[in-house]
Chains A and B, each alone.
Chain A
């Protein structure tokens, strides 16, 4: 749980929902649709309130968390000349883009699935501005520039004014600071309106619990009409419980080019969401030979560190994850089942032994014997498969009831004919990695 990126469309929807409250004196039309095919776009155009899709020239672009869409030639705004894209053009373009894999200039590649479609907004370069806000260190920082679009990124230091706003700064001081830092090159005729918009933008960013909010460019048209041409936003999802109504339905998509979670990772994430305990699983290399079942967030990191350090080949490490916070026996068994299933799917290409690290620091309050009972139950189901992959198991753990836990797991492995070495708190937490790799 942390700061999470949302789609441009969802960010604009939040703006639109609260526009009257924050941006009185300015107008925003929120003419946007999010579609996943050309057909869906055409269907949308038949709905009441979306007649503009048929009436106005359109702009279409992918809405999948990545930026620099212009440079990647992924913004459709012209067929022959700017502002001549029709509904049919946009639908065809979307279907064409979806038919092939797309590779970005950064090398990320994947399938385009989500597109945002909006009316084409004719405007001049002079009407474009830049505004964003985020947290830097302990303070919020508001960034403003008289130049929007790609220009602002070249020559950031000269073109952008920053205002640092400490968390406890009063609204009056904040407004004063913003007004005092309006970029000098904003035309006099627009200064007051821009300052007013910037102040309201900051309040909106703050009150709506954004972690990052950028409009580039924001276009100030005549009659205080605002056009949000491009928007990037991250929310602090820990605030989700109090923002349910304010945000509405929010989806946190996976970054473009990142593989979607495997069914196993998804299942663990779902179990995690339902439990008071913590269950996390990331598969790094399904063919890897070293699998970890580690208790505790900190310990899971040092095991991963140590495996990378000592194996000399990070691709040996198959997974990263943790179980902690006192999971039940059933939850632990489910987690172990998932891991043992994954690690016994593929033979090691070089015919080497598989290694299973059942690690953990000295628990504060998790009952070790209780969680180990879950692992033992899973051993019983997977013993034959684990043996078929020549699995060597290394256990290290301490904490409440650890003597019983260690004794039980040793006895179970012996009974099932599994190779196991069991250590307690007298052995350094990560030393079993060294032992496993030296053998």
Chain B
């Protein structure tokens, strides 16, 4: 049993308490932690995927999850849960965290007023699972120079003033969170600061009690002496007295119980926390202070005298050579004025010597000997991953397959008309691109979407066809004007051959071909067409690359499939535009005899 937290400790923060999280990250920056102390945020009702925070002068993104389970899966080494749920849900959040086997070592619970029976159940379940609960009803704790929970220590200025930025030699345990800060300050002024500190919480039933923390500190060689600030009510201080008497605790303890005032008043006045009410003489502050003094614990005359007692014990330990001078570490200063960034970029960076694509310098992907093709560049810039050869080759195959389909299709026609009106390449290209949508090129998207939906939901091919009929929709990706079973589309044959030879598996294509068998049995030309094949194989590619179904749905929703068509077909459009420029064709005007005019005199209303 060593220190509670180290400089590598990372927490999952339950509830998006941005100011508390920012304080943790400011602390991290100040003490030069390698990684931020908050790995992830759990916010059950948030739609955000991440939250931005400052890290020194810069910003970082902390991922946001909807459940503790998802966050834990993404960050298996985060062993602290900072449970900032309300008193209504804090119990459930803790129990859920305890149930994730092997994940959390510590759960800190901030809510005050959790029903007592639930708090007891929570504390006991944590104890059985070997999880330390700090709280409920606490501000938390700190391992100076390593890890700070949420708001402990207050502002960064106060943290430095109270020497909470680097480890001292005192182990501090208090009940009160407000006085924890105060004690840190007193210890900084009168000694050399704290090595580790915990505010155990003010509720009647708290997870880790004084003795748990003091025993851990006894075994932590960095802690040279301990300070305990107790309170009127309860008998927890007697467990400490017992441990001192039987030699379990050998390090010096300075202790004081607040609430000596209570003896002057009848039981009607509640001084302090819910846990703070003396039910017996032994539970009064005076009795506990006296008993602790008799056991050899250093007890001051009064709270006002506590600083002197700390100084006395510290000086004694220093004289004995048990504590030595601490070198003050260099600190980074958090800028006082910081501006949140308007834009975020996660794919490329032009700030270094050479611009990079997802970390790859351009020169390392551009020339033939690098082995990178345009498919690799797309995988880097669109998906932030290096895809294997078969996948990048598939992407390239798609681009080549969709590059052009003659001058008559609406996009190419538009581009040609615009070029003949004397417009430049960009304007002409854009008019072509603007026709891409549900009727032109959109079948790729729809085919992927509907076939995947049917397949994900376990519909048989017959059920899928019936479903589309009920929805009143034609099946995207099925059907061709001219091509049929007997006169197959060779582009489709090529794609299927490539997939068969190179893809690890093609479950969605296999499914689509079963559908095709049914549709072609009704009509010969209801074949799986090139749009359908491309979209469906793209899904198979992503599945084989290990993406989750949700990831793939996300790609489709973001329009990634359409994007392949846009890039590929732009090559053809530009070809048609350059063709028009070369031919010097005049302005196009549609012949009137090709238009049916049917105009009636407008009715007067």
Contacts and interface: CB of A to CB of B under 8 A. Distances in A.
Interface of A: 1-3, 135, 137-138, 166-168, 206, 209, 211, 236, 238-239, 241-242, 255, 258, 282, 284, 295-302, 304-310, 314, 317, 320, 324, 360-365, 398-400, 425-426, 428-431, 433-434
B121 A167 contact: yes
A425 B178 CA distance: 13
B273 interface: yes
B270 A167 contact: no
21 contacts: A1-B113, A2-B204, A138-B124, A167-B121, A236-B117, A297-B272, A298-B273, A301-B258, A301-B271, A305-B302, A305-B303, A309-B302, A314-B261, A320-B271, A362-B154, A364-B139, A365-B151, A399-B158, A428-B307, A429-B182, A433-B304
Given A138-B124, A399-B155, A305 B115 contact: no
Interface in B292-331: 302-304, 307
A63 to B, nearest CB: 19
A398 B185 CA distance: 10
Contact of B265 (A284, A365, A399): A284
Interface of B: 19-20, 87-88, 113-118, 120-121, 123-125, 128, 139, 151-155, 158, 161-162, 174-179, 181-182, 185-186, 189, 202, 204-205, 231-232, 235, 258-261, 264-265, 268-274, 276-277, 285, 302-304, 307
A298 B268 contact: no
Contacts of A255: 268
Given A304-B261, A363-B178, A429-B182, 6 more contacts: A168-B125, A284-B265, A302-B258, A309-B302, A320-B261, A398-B182
A317 B261 CA distance: 10
B261 A399 contact: no
Contacts of B123: 138
A166 B175 CA distance: 24
Contacts of A309: 260, 302, 304
B12 to A, nearest CB: 21
Contact of B161 (A167, A310, A361, A425): A425
A258 B116 CA distance: 26
Contacts of B175: 298
Nearest to A137: B235
A398 B124 CA distance: 37
B149 to A, nearest CB: 11
A213 to B, nearest CB: 13
Contact of A364 (B113, B152, B186, B303): B152
A301 B154 contact: no
B185 A238 contact: no
By Cβ-Cβ distance, the 8 closest A-B pairs, closest first, are: A298-B176, A296-B178, A239-B115, A361-B182, A298-B179, A304-B261, A314-B264, A364-B151
A116 to B, nearest CB: 23
B117 A167 contact: yes
Contact of A296 (B117, B176, B189, B260): B176
Contacts of A2: 204, 270, 274, 277
A206 B115 CA distance: 12
Contacts, number: 168
A207 to B, nearest CB: 9
Contacts of A206: 117
Contacts of B174: 298
Nearest to A428: B307
Nearest to B116: A236
A138 B274 CA distance: 16
B304 A434 contact: yes
A294 to B, nearest CB: 10
Given A364-B139, A425-B158, A1 B274 contact: yes
Given A236-B116, A238-B115, A362-B182, A297 B125 contact: no
Nearest to B277: A2
A49 to B, nearest CB: 34
- Name the residue among B128, B175, B176 with the largest chain A CB count within 10 angstroms: B176
A95 to B, nearest CB: 29
Contacts of B273: 297-298
Nearest to B125: A168
B115 A236 contact: yes
Main secondary structure of the interface of A (DSSP, over half): mixed
Nearest to B179: A298
B128 A299 contact: no
A362 B162 contact: yes
B269 A306 contact: no
A426 to B, nearest CB: 7
A297 B259 contact: no
Contacts of A238: 87, 113-116, 274
A166 B19 CA distance: 39
B304 A298 contact: no
A296 B19 CA distance: 20
B269 A284 contact: yes
A138 B120 CA distance: 7
B272 A428 contact: no
Contacts of B20: 365
A360 B158 CA distance: 15
B179 A361 contact: yes
A308 B261 contact: yes
B274 A298 contact: no
Contacts of B258: 298, 301-302, 305
B272 A298 contact: yes
A3 B114 CA distance: 12
A400 B304 contact: no
Nearest to B268: A258
A176 to B, nearest CB: 20
Contacts of B155: 399-400
Contacts of B264: 308, 314
A365 B186 contact: no
B117 A239 contact: yes
Contacts of A425: 158, 161, 185
Given A364-B178, A425-B158, A242 B115 contact: yes
A137 B209 CA distance: 12
B596 to A, nearest CB: 71
B63 to A, nearest CB: 25
Contacts of A360: 178
Contacts of B204: 2
Contacts of A308: 260-261, 264
A296 B344 CA distance: 41
B511 to A, nearest CB: 49
- Name the residue among B162, B271, B304 with the largest chain A CB count within 10 angstroms: B304
A399 B177 contact: no
A429 B176 CA distance: 14
Contact of A362 (B125, B158, B270): B158
Nearest to B275: A2
Nearest to B154: A364
B19 to A, nearest CB: 7
A6 B365 CA distance: 77
- Name the residue among B116, B175, B307 with the largest chain A CB count within 10 angstroms: B116
A305 B285 CA distance: 10
A135 B116 CA distance: 10
A302 B121 CA distance: 32
Nearest to B261: A304
A335 B202 CA distance: 23
A306 B302 contact: yes
A1 to B, nearest CB: 5
A304 B304 CA distance: 12
Nearest to B140: A364
Contacts of A305: 258-261, 285, 302-303
A360 to B, nearest CB: 8
A302 B175 CA distance: 13
Contact of B269 (A242, A282, A399, A400): A282
Contacts of A433: 304
Contacts of A167: 117, 120-121, 124
B271 A299 contact: no
B153 to A, nearest CB: 7
Contact of B153 (A138, A282, A364): A364
Contacts of B88: 241-242
